[in-house]
Structure formats: C-alpha cells, structure tokens
Chains A and B, each alone.
Chain A
Amino acid sequence: MAATILRRLNPAGAAPPRAAPTLDLARRAVSDSSEPLTVETSLPFKPHLVDPPPRTVSTTPRELLAFFRDMALMRRAEIAADSLYKAKLIRGFCHLYDGQEAVAVGMEAAITRRDAIITAYRDHCLYLARGGDLVAAFAELMGRQDGCSRGKGGSMHFYKKDANFYGGHGIVGAQVPLGCGIAFAQRYRKEGTVTFDLYGDGAANQGQLFEALNMAALWKLPVILVCENNHYGMGTAEWKASKSPAYYKRGDYVPGLKVDGMDVLAVKQACKFAKEHVLENGPIILEMDTYRYHGHSMSDPGSTYRTRDEIAGIRQERDPIERVRKLILTHDLATAQELKDMEKEIRKEVDTAIAKAKESPMPDTSELFKNVYVNDCGLESFGVDRKVVRTVLP
C-alpha cells in the first residue's frame, strides 16, 4: 500500500509537461519508463561454496524511482518515529532501521508476496515494504486501536499475514527457526515459494540458528538466512562478539554470499539469485553489509561504542538513498529538484499519516481479553482483581 501511495505522489501533471515519448531527452518529466537499464553493483559479491551472481544488474527507470521513493519514505518514517518517541507518544522499545532501507526494498523487488519474510524487532520498514499501511504502522507504535496489531503488539510485533510477513519478534534469534518452519510449510505444500529469514550480527551466534540451519540443510528447506550485519549487536562490535564475523561463511556446509547491503541493486540481485538457489538446493546465507544510523534502540545514543566520524563517514560514502539519487541523476531519469520535491511530498505524506494515527483512540478495554485464544470455548479470564474484573472470553 505504501508503494501505491508513493506512486500517487507523482501523477502525470505534477512535473513540467511531459515531452513526446522516447525521443526527446531534454527536459523530460520524471521517468516511469520500463526500458531496461543495466547497472553494475558497487562491489562484487563474495561467495562461499557457491558461484556468485554477476555484478551487472538489470533494472528500469521506473524501478529506480520506486526504490528512491520507497527508501525515502522509510527514512522519513523512521525519523518521524524518533520524534514521536522523544515526545513520549511511542513507549517501550523502538528500534529504527534508517540506513538499512536498501535491504528491505531490494529484497522486496526480487520476490513476490507469496514468498514469506520474517525478521526480529527492527521491523517497521519490512512491514512497509510488504505493503503495510503507514497509518497502521504509526498507530501501532502509539498503541492505538487502528494499529496493525490493534495496539496490542507495539513496535516489535508488526505482522501482515496476507502478505506473508510473519513479524516482528522480540527474542533475539528465535525468528530464525521460525522462518525455517515457514519454509518447511512451503515445501510441505509444494508451493514453490521461499522464506527470507532475517537476523542480525548479534543473533548470528545463537545456537538455535545452527540447529535450525542444520535441519534446513538436511531437509532442503527453501529458506534464505539473511544476516543484516550492521556491525553492532546492541553495543558490541561484531569482532568482539564473533570469533568469525564472516557471517556468510558461518553456515559451514551451507553456501553463502556477502552483499553490499547499502546497494539496493546488489540486494535485489542477491535475493533473486538466492530464491532460485534455495528452490533447487536448500538453504543459503546472505550477509548484507549494512549500517544503522541510530543506536540499537531509542534508549541508545549509538555513540558510546562507535565514533561520530564513522557514522558520518557511512552517511557520506554509502548512504543507500544517495546512491540511488546519483544513479537517477546520472541516467537523467529525473532532475535534482524533482527528487527534492518527491521528498517533500513524502514528508507531507508521513506527517499526514501521523496526524491520522494520532486521531485513532486507544483500544477499548474489552480488547484486553481478546485474542488470547482463537478457540475460547467460553473460557474464563481474570483481571488484576478478579472480584472486580472477570470475563468469559469472546
């Protein structure tokens, strides 16, 4: 849905008058052409036990502009969430994804909504990439009834079952076996779909990951383990936590690929490759070399364990949105001003969504007792003082 909103940001009449199709290259409106365009990834893929995909990636102007819009929207949404948290409208935990947008967007471009994605708690942008609603996202963050989990989940528990997005998990590493289980079901039903099972460099040392990977390899499950390596597990640098931080090799007998996670086209290429691979061969690991600008969560300034120079350096050299902006400008798919206008529209879009989300009320108190079970069969449940609050579950 976010993508649809974004496409509506640039209706035909918004830019200067469109020139005649294909011929006139001067003063052309923002391109939505589907003409193929070939781009080389910034870095080669580093393989482990597999032949890597080529560095040349096929894309289109329309796709590149969509990448720009989607990532810019995610960036804007996460920054807005930061402000909401500081304004105490978001409570508890809030783990922001800004800097890592290329992983969510590139992955989505390579797969269908019938493929599944599961991740941990840094899940807002994955939810949006899967077609999640912006208003529902902010409402959930603020604990309102129109939230995507009706206010009962919070930041770490976004789900979108109809888009095969399985959350949204708070226990580090637990999502890895769960994702292998989803892939198990896909193989059991012979669906020809795959699961992208995301985790971080911190979770990469979890024993249950290796337990699940072993079974995934034994049973040839169509699962892609995606290590979003942002180099810090909370405040611990990867080299302090992992004897071997080459996460793409940690699968041992399972092949892997190291990918520049700040390059949306490289991500897309790797995910496309991985999907084909696992359907034939069983699991593969993709290590996305990425970076988060914010700290681990909103209670972490993110500067006690890394330098501001490092953060600024990444922003300068590797920012995923800036990369795509450069590509768009180089290929003359839009002007700098047009892209800036797009960003302004996005900012307005996000502000409107937040305003709408703020109007959503807190959940009704009856919601407290809903969804404990699917089949409640008239079960009793109790409030804090059961002489005052007790109910038969709906």
Chain B
Amino acid sequence: MLGAARRQLGSGPMLGQVLRRLRPASADAARGYAAAGKEITVREALNTALDEEMSADPSVFLMGEEVGEYQGAYKITKGLLDKYGPDRVLDTPITEAGFTGIGVGAAYQGLRPVIEFMTFNFSMQAIDHIINSAAKSNYMSAGQINVPIVFRGPNGAAAGVGAQHSQCYAAWYAHVPGLKVLAPYSAEDARGLLKAAIRDPDPVVFLENELLYGESFPVSDEVLDSSFSLPIGKAKIERKGKDVTITAFSKMVGYALQAADILSKEGISAEVINLRSIRPLDRAAINASVRKTNRLVTLEEGFPQHGVGAEICMSVVEESFEYLDAPVERIAGADVPMPYAANLERLAVPQVEDIVRAARRACYRAVPLAATA
C-alpha cells in the first residue's frame, strides 16, 4: 500500500524516514519507484536554490543578519559569501526597518534582493516596508514601479522558544493584495518555490520552517536541475483520498500525512493537500477536492482567528456548499501566546491526534467529547 517500511511515528527526526515513501501521482512522477532516489534536506534545497539563482542572475543579492560570515543563523546561506563576495551577500546590523527599506529601494531600481529575516517575528519591525513600500507600489504607480523582492526566513513555532518567537504570519501577509505568500513543505517545494519566488517580478513572502530545515526528502533529477521551478499559486495533492480533505501547509503537511496514515487504518481515506501557496490560494484545487470527498478539515499552526483555515472554509462555503456533507472542521494553534513549558506548548500547537479527531468528526464518527478548560 504505502511502500517503504512503516516506522513508529514519533517526533521530528523520524518524520523524514516515514516520508521516504512514494507519493502517488504528482509532480515528481517522472521518478521511478525503484530508483535509489537522492535525498536532500530542506536546508540543502534552499541553499542550492539560492546559489543557482545568484549564479544565473547577477542582480540577485542577499541581505540579512548573519547571512554572510556566520554562514546564516540556520546555515541556509552557507558558503554563499565565499562564492559571491561581500557585495552580493550582505551582513546587516540588527536594523530590520532599515535594511528591509534598503532592499525594497534596491528592488525599485531593478535589483532582485532576497531579504532574510532571522525569524518572521522580526519582520514586524519592517512590516511597513513589506506592505506599504513593496506590496502596493506596482498598483499605486499604475505599473511603473514593480518590486521583484523576496522576504524569506523561518516562520511559526520552533521548539521552546516562547511567545515572541513563535508566531505564524501566513494569515497576516496573505491578507494583502500585491504580495505573494509561499509556504514550502518538502525539499522539492523549497527548491521549486524559492526559485520561482526569486524569478517572480512581484514581492514574495517566503515562509520557511525551522524544524523542517533538517528534514530529508527524496528529490528527482528534475528537481535537482538548476532550471527547476514550481508554479506559484498551485497546491499539491500530497496524498490522494476520497473521504475527507485535509488542507495544510509547511510543517503541518507532515502531521496531516501522519494523521492520514492513522485514519486509513480506520477505513477513512484522507486526501492531504499541501497548499504550497497561501496567496494566491489554490481555491480550484481545494474545491475540487472537497467536491470529491464532501468533507474538509483545515489545518494550520497559527492562531485560529482570521486564519488561513477561515479563508479556506469561506471559499468552500461560497463555491461548494452543496457538496459539503458535514460542517468544515478547523484545527489551528491555540488562541494563546505560545507558552514555554513543554506540556503547555504541546497543548498550544496541533498534534496528530487533534487532526485525526477532527477528521473523524467530519466523518461523523463518534468521538469522546473534548474536555473543556
């Protein structure tokens, strides 16, 4: 059924090994099942993507804290300073508003900056430049000033980093017309979407995930080719199913796949959609899936109110209401600032059992009532 050996699901490091199983017909269908496929980590995927795009286009440059000499706070930009020199890999002082504005100004003039935020929590210091200076410029100038810039960095919760370092910004940035917001999951996503983002003439917010950097994923030769890129605005069906649709992005895709495994043992076939692109949202793919399965669970790590799941639910209500056989279910982070204590943190972030429970509910399977606080 699912090919490679199943392992007991545990925390992070096991995930990569579980995911070595083949995905059903998808973008990398070209790779044969039996091929001793190459695997790369998300970190390598991002690093090689940056390297190749900088090599191909001299107007691409990197800017951020510790991206150069330190080799990147999370080593994503390792080796690039040595290769491209300090004129193209710039270590900045700890001044997000300043260097983000400088990056946007450079993009006005036609360069292609890739600005790194050490985490997207720090992007709030520069958010005016992302929204007002970058996102809106092409519109306000009626097309005279476009901004081919990428803002990238880790987004969402890590492990034990507390309230100020754990927020997910997908909903915030995806709210704004004029921005594109991408959220890779696998190494293939990381490579293809980052390359597409750098080549895109519009401002792109590229939301990575710290806990995924070390995860390995199989990649085909096509993915490893320097011309590879993925289309912006298209989701990927990570796992085909027929009973319930689960939408997810970034790290939650892995959790959704684990949940789908568990559900399949109960006879519930879940279809897992890896959104890849939060804005533009692939409403067509989501709705097509829901019209097939008739049930939907939206999954995200961020705060629930006005989140990505809320938008997806509304889209489905607008376009596929008659197809729904159950109310839409939503699994999101808890509606509290992220606590530090490990047990509380576990309660604040979706776990696999939460996804399974919500899917069962969507399928009208009996579930014990959840304890109320």
User: Taking the complex as formed, is B151 at the interface, i.e. its CB lies under 8 A from any CB of chain A?
Assistant: no
Please tell me which stretch of B99-107, B165-173, B184-192 contacts chain A, meaning at least 4 of its Cβ atoms lie within 8 angstroms of it.
Answer: B99-107
Q: How far is the CA of A253 from the CA of B368 in the complex (A)?
A: 68
For B253-282 the 0/1 string (1 means CB < 8 A from A) is 000000000000000000000000000100
User: Taking the complex as formed, is B153 at the interface, i.e. its CB lies under 8 A from any CB of chain A?
Assistant: no
Q: How far is the CA of A116 from the CA of B145 in the complex (A)?
A: 14
Known: A188-B111, A374-B201. A177 touches B142 (CB 8 A): no
Interface contacts (Cβ under 8 Å), in number, total 158
Query: Is the beta-carbon distance between A149 and B129 smaller than 8 angstroms?
Result: no
Known: A214-B95, A379-B233. A181 touches B107 (CB 8 A): yes
Q: Residues of A contacting B138 with CB < 8 Å?
A: 371-374
Q: Residues of A contacting B105 with CB < 8 Å?
A: 118, 166, 177-185
Q: How far is the CA of A376 from the CA of B104 in the complex (A)?
A: 20
Q: Give the residue among A118, A152, A178 with the most B Cβ atoms within 10 A.
A: A178
CB distance from A189 to the nearest CB of B (A): 8
Known: A179-B105, A182-B105. A211 touches B95 (CB 8 A): yes
Q: Give the residue among A176, A181, A215, A375 with the most B Cβ atoms within 10 A.
A: A181
Residues of A within 8 A of B (CB): 116, 118, 149-153, 157, 159-161, 166-171, 174, 176-186, 188-189, 207-208, 210-212, 214-215, 218-219, 370-375, 377, 379-381, 386-387
User: Taking the complex as formed, is B128 at the interface, i.e. its CB lies under 8 A from any CB of chain A?
Assistant: yes
Query: Is the beta-carbon distance between B107 and A149 smaller than 8 angstroms?
Result: no
User: Taking the complex as formed, is B330 at the interface, i.e. its CB lies under 8 A from any CB of chain A?
Assistant: no
Cβ < 8 Å to A, chain B residues 162-184: 177-178, 180
User: Taking the complex as formed, is B318 at the interface, i.e. its CB lies under 8 A from any CB of chain A?
Assistant: yes
For B176-216 the 0/1 string (1 means CB < 8 A from A) is 01101000000000000000000011100000000000000
Query: Is the beta-carbon distance between B201 and A180 smaller than 8 angstroms?
Result: no
A-B contact pairs, 27 of them (CB 8 A): A149-B142, A150-B142, A153-B142, A159-B140, A159-B145, A161-B144, A167-B140, A167-B145, A169-B133, A174-B129, A177-B99, A178-B101, A180-B102, A180-B105, A182-B106, A185-B110, A186-B109, A207-B97, A211-B93, A211-B95, A211-B101, A371-B139, A372-B139, A374-B201, A377-B233, A379-B280, A380-B280
| Identity of the chain A residue whose Cβ is nearest the Cβ of B201 in the assembled complex | A374
Query: Is the beta-carbon distance between A375 and B97 smaller than 8 angstroms?
Result: no
CB distance from A304 to the nearest CB of B (A): 29
Query: Is the beta-carbon distance between B233 and A152 smaller than 8 angstroms?
Result: no
Q: Residues of B contacting A118 with CB < 8 Å?
A: 105
Query: Is the beta-carbon distance between B180 and A178 smaller than 8 angstroms?
Result: no
Query: Is the beta-carbon distance between B100 and A177 smaller than 8 angstroms?
Result: yes
Neighbour of A174 across the interface among B101, B145, B231, CB < 8 A: B101
| Identity of the chain B residue whose Cβ is nearest the Cβ of A218 in the assembled complex | B93
Counting from the closest, the 6 A-B pairs by CB-CB distance are A181-B105, A177-B101, A211-B98, A185-B109, A211-B95, A178-B105
User: Taking the complex as formed, is B8 at the interface, i.e. its CB lies under 8 A from any CB of chain A?
Assistant: no
Q: Give the residue among A153, A171, A208 with the most B Cβ atoms within 10 A.
A: A208
Query: Is the beta-carbon distance between A370 and B97 smaller than 8 angstroms?
Result: no
CB distance from B211 to the nearest CB of A (A): 30
| Identity of the chain A residue whose Cβ is nearest the Cβ of B314 in the assembled complex | A386
CB distance from B62 to the nearest CB of A (A): 12
User: Taking the complex as formed, is B232 at the interface, i.e. its CB lies under 8 A from any CB of chain A?
Assistant: yes
Cβ < 8 Å to A, chain B residues 88-140: 90, 92-93, 95, 97-111, 128-129, 132-133, 137-140
Query: Is the beta-carbon distance between B140 and A215 smaller than 8 angstroms?
Result: no
Known: A167-B145, A178-B108, A380-B280. 18 other contacts (CB 8 A): A157-B141, A159-B140, A159-B141, A161-B141, A171-B128, A171-B132, A171-B133, A177-B97, A181-B102, A182-B106, A182-B108, A210-B98, A211-B95, A211-B98, A212-B98, A372-B178, A373-B138, A374-B143
Neighbour of A149 across the interface among B102, B144, B146, B231, CB < 8 A: B144
Q: How far is the CA of A188 from the CA of B275 in the complex (A)?
A: 37
CB distance from A155 to the nearest CB of B (A): 11
Q: How far is the CA of A374 from the CA of B141 in the complex (A)?
A: 12
Query: Is the beta-carbon distance between A157 and B106 smaller than 8 angstroms?
Result: no
Q: How far is the CA of A182 from the CA of B103 in the complex (A)?
A: 9
Cβ < 8 Å to A, chain B residues 7-27: none
Known: A174-B133, A181-B109, A377-B231. A212 touches B141 (CB 8 A): no
Known: A188-B87, A381-B177. A182 touches B109 (CB 8 A): yes
Q: Residues of B contacting A381 with CB < 8 Å?
A: 177
User: Taking the complex as formed, is B61 at the interface, i.e. its CB lies under 8 A from any CB of chain A?
Assistant: yes
Q: Residues of A contacting B137 with CB < 8 Å?
A: 167
Q: How far is the CA of A239 from the CA of B233 in the complex (A)?
A: 52
Q: How far is the CA of A9 from the CA of B322 in the complex (A)?
A: 70
Neighbour of A386 across the interface among B87, B141, B146, B318, CB < 8 A: B318
Query: Is the beta-carbon distance between B143 and A370 smaller than 8 angstroms?
Result: yes
User: Taking the complex as formed, is B236 at the interface, i.e. its CB lies under 8 A from any CB of chain A?
Assistant: no
User: Taking the complex as formed, is B283 at the interface, i.e. its CB lies under 8 A from any CB of chain A?
Assistant: yes
Query: Is the beta-carbon distance between B101 and A180 smaller than 8 angstroms?
Result: yes
Q: How far is the CA of A208 from the CA of B93 in the complex (A)?
A: 12
Q: Residues of B contacting A166 with CB < 8 Å?
A: 105, 108-109, 145
| Identity of the chain A residue whose Cβ is nearest the Cβ of B141 in the assembled complex | A159
Q: How far is the CA of A181 from the CA of B180 in the complex (A)?
A: 22
Query: Is the beta-carbon distance between B201 and A174 smaller than 8 angstroms?
Result: no
Neighbour of B146 across the interface among A181, A370, A374, A377, CB < 8 A: A374
Q: Residues of B contacting A380 with CB < 8 Å?
A: 280, 283
Query: Is the beta-carbon distance between B98 and A159 smaller than 8 angstroms?
Result: no
Q: Residues of A contacting B142 with CB < 8 Å?
A: 149-153, 370-371
Cβ < 8 Å to A, chain B residues 295-332: 318
Q: Residues of A contacting B141 with CB < 8 Å?
A: 149, 153, 157, 159, 161, 167-168, 371
